[in-house]
């Protein structure tokens, strides 16, 4: 009798497990959840040196209307080995991804990073302008 109860229990449990494992939420190519959020902006920006300490001489100025980030670094900073860090609105992601050191040494050619909204429908390019402290 106990054997039949176990079999019945397993037969009833399998459909619930199968339904529970179904993906209800879509994910993107990076494995991130796609949501219904359309917001798309940078809330904070940081530049770190090769020792992972800040190289900013003052806070970065982020203009969400003009979609620019202006940051001043200390005199003598090695601009070829910087690690940019972006804080984005919830569910947004950055394109291209930052996978390591970034070369900001060509001050006449600012870097452009695109912020992509949570619903992946809104894309806003932010231009990062780096200047060196006098």
The string of pLDDT tens digits covering residues 64-97 is 999 999 999 999 999 999 999 999 999 999 999 9
The secondary structure element, H or E, covering residue 18 is helix 2-20
> How confident is the model over 11-33, as pLDDT tens digits?
566 555 555 555 577 999 988 99
The predicted structure's pLDDT at residue 60: 97
pTM higher than the cut 0.75: yes
| DSSP helix/strand/coil, 3 | helix
User: DSSP of 57-79, one letter per residue?
Assistant: SS--EEETTTTEEEEEE-TT--T
The predicted structure's pLDDT at residue 24: 75
Residue 123 pLDDT level (bands cut at 50, 70, 90): very high
| Structural domains of the chain, with CATH | 25-132 (2.60.40.2340)
């Amino acid at each position: 009798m106990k054997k039949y109860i176990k079999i019945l229990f397993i037969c009833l449990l399998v459909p619930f497990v199968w339904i529970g494992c179904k993906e209800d939420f879509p994910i993107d190519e990076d494995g991130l959840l796609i949501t219904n959020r359309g917001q798309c902006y940078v809330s904070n920006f940081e530049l770190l040196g090769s020792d992972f300490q800040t190289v900013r001489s003052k806070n970065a100025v982020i203009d969400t209307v003009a979609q620019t980030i202006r940051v001043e670094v200390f005199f003598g900073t090695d601009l070829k080995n910087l690690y940019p860090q972006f804080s984005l609105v919830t569910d947004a992601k950055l394109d291209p991804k930052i996978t390591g050191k970034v070369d900001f040494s060509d001050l006449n050619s600012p870097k452009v990073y695109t912020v992509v909204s949570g619903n992946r429908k809104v894309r806003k390019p932010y231009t990062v302008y780096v200047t060196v402290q006098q």
